[in-house]
Chains A and B, each alone.
Chain A
């Protein structure tokens, strides 16, 4: 009896909060027919948005994987003053509102600041351009790779690496042939979360991009613009496309989880 009640309420909770809204959006997107949907998704503005989002995501993914790995290694394997401080800083983006994150970048790179003047004289446009959008997305996604790798690095320890060294492997070989393969599911997981967040990032990018049509308008910004312009079909169509990507991401996450569990066991 209790069991039924519990399971029933959980189903209801999920239905009202998750399943219902998702299904309804899917239905709504095709309200005006599949042709309208297709036209909206293939509009130049929409295509430009997808491309820009893809570019930013690719850059962010590479930078995050490189620096995320380095940071995780330093955090777990090295002991130095300020290490715990560094660790605390890494978690910060989780708790900072995206709008505030974007605003902080504006304050940092604004025309009157040292950094702003510096890049200004170099002729590099940071704010309302690609660099700031990448930085904003990097800020939001930085913890993912690091926080996936640190516990893994702690669990696997250094035994296997030391074994490889006794077998004559140099540092680079140890890293490539031992450390990286052992971390692979952490990478998959961290990378997938990074991609998800990068594609979906809105608040920070909105603030630093200036939301300039066909120039700094990512897919999410394009959705926002369409919504504000009362083009609900357009907004929903692009949104549904991103939703499909989300489901693909979710599938990868679930598979990675299962694989990781299998590897550990």
Chain B
């Protein structure tokens, strides 16, 4: 076997692998996206606006955005706190809590809905107690936020933990030797170093919350104009054979998700790089998240 032949077989193998990968991803991801884009174009921009402006659709979208926003804020706060506590403190039960963080990735979202409905519902002591306090969780906004919080819980924690662990003590010490006090050091050195991790967690939380369906369909029910979120609305439109309405709201949600992800890329781009990663011929593949870092 001479060198020329090996090169050829090698090149052929490479080509075959590449075709398989590109073909598979196209079939699985690109074609479905193209299908919904096509459906959306068929309707045209006028229809699109009309569809999402109907009272039912617009209220579903508004509710989804609002709940996702609240979820993101709570998740960012408690996620950051949890990540710091889990990384920096030694305490009984730390290992246990740390392992639990992955649980929302392992539990079916539908089961999440059932759990929240059970414990915060009108039949449980906690639910009754909350009800007396004037807080209705089930078939109400708090339930939606709780469901979203549960399924997005790992994002902030898991994207902050590695950054916090890798945070070089040396960088903070360098700032000290240059005369910076702990407060200045925290804001000028620590925060900028962990910011990309935090932003990744926060933005992914928002996107994930926007699309959540399984848990919310149980917890929130399907009351139009009141507890119907976008994904439930889309499901309803599909069930009632209205592909156009489903398409418009879907595309709207997809567009927001993509915009958020593009913004995330822009914000977490390594300093000094002008081009977004997906335009560059970079050696490093674009990786928005690595599941094990998050789940």
Contacts and interface: CB of A to CB of B under 8 A. Distances in A.
B3 interface: no
Contacts of B14: 78
A80 B289 CA distance: 22
A197 B278 CA distance: 27
A13 B97 CA distance: 11
Interface of A: 3, 6-7, 9-11, 13-14, 17-22, 24-25, 28, 67, 70-71, 73-76, 78-80, 82-108, 113, 115, 135, 138-139, 142-144, 147-148, 150-151, 154, 171, 189-190, 193, 196-197, 199-203, 206-207, 220, 223-224, 227, 235-236, 239, 242-243, 246-247, 249-250, 253-254, 257
The 4 A-B pairs at the shortest CB distance, nearest first, are namely A97-B211, A200-B108, A104-B32, A21-B115
Contacts of B114: 25, 223, 227, 235-236, 239
Given A6-B81, A103-B234, A24 B289 contact: no
B211 A100 contact: yes
B84 interface: yes
A95 B115 contact: no
Given A97-B213, A100-B231, A103-B250, A143 B291 contact: yes
B111 interface: yes
B116 to A, nearest CB: 6
Given A97-B211, A103-B234, A193-B295, A242 B111 contact: yes
Contacts of A105: 32
Contact of A139 (B29, B100, B102, B218): B29
A135 B24 CA distance: 11
Interface string B270-295: 00000001111111111111111001
A96 B82 contact: no
A224 B247 CA distance: 24
Contacts of A203: 109, 213-214, 231, 235
Contacts of B99: 250, 254
Given A99-B211, A246-B106, 15 more contacts: A7-B89, A9-B81, A17-B149, A70-B20, A74-B21, A99-B238, A100-B253, A103-B238, A103-B247, A106-B238, A107-B32, A143-B291, A171-B10, A200-B214, A223-B108
Contact of A17 (B108, B146, B283): B146
Interface string B203-240: 01001101111100110000000000011101100100
Contacts of B89: 3, 6-7
Given A139-B32, A223-B114, A100 B18 contact: no
Most buried by A among B18, B110, B210, B235: B110
B105 interface: yes
A238 to B, nearest CB: 9
B287 A101 contact: no
Given A84-B285, A86-B21, A97 B108 contact: no
B128 interface: no
B231 A24 contact: no
Contacts of A235: 114
A84 B287 CA distance: 10
6 contacts: A6-B85, A10-B82, A17-B149, A100-B253, A103-B250, A242-B108
B267 interface: no
B106 A95 contact: no
Interface stretch (B33-41, B50-58, B166-174, B190-198): B33-41
A142 B17 contact: no
Contacts of B97: 10-11, 14
Interface string B58-87: 000000000000000000001001101110
